[in-house]
């Protein structure tokens, strides 16, 4: 059973590049702040036939805005910062 609550989250832009040494870099910059409905699930792994189903997840639900539409169209270019950790 999930525990749902509303928490502040920061949505960040993700920019991938290459530095002067040829190493790949990832730069995160703040895009906007929002309140998301956050649901934590219990830790468990269920094995159903040939697949593993992981239940140690965090689910974020955001209201629809033009920014969230941009997020859905470019899923590799954003991260959600929640409790000091980046979720991509």
- Residues composing the chain: 88
Q: What is the pLDDT along the chain (88 residues), one digit of tens a residue?
A: 567 899 999 999 999 999 999 999 999 999 999 999 988 766 666 666 777 666 667 888 999 889 989 999 999 999 999 888 888 8
pLDDT at position 55 is 63
What secondary structure does DSSP assign to 6-40, as a single string?
EEEEEEEEEEEEE-TTS-EEEEEEEEEEEEEEEEE
pTM score of the predicted model: 0.74
Closest CA to 36 of 57, 14, 64, 13: 64
Which residue's structure tokens are 């990832």?
Answer: 26
pLDDT at position 19 is 92
pLDDT at position 88 is 81
pLDDT at position 11 is 95
């Amino acid at each position: 059973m999930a525990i749902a609550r509303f928490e502040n989250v920061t949505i960040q832009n993700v920019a991938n590049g290459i530095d002067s040494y040829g190493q790949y870099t990832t730069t995160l910059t703040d895009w906007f702040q929002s309140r998301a409905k956050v649901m934590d699930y219990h830790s468990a792994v269920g094995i159903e036939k040939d697949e593993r189903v992981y239940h140690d997840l965090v689910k974020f639900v955001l209201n629809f805005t033009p920014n969230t539409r941009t997020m859905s169209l470019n899923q590799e270019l954003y991260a959600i910062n929640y409790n000091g950790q980046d979720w991509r």
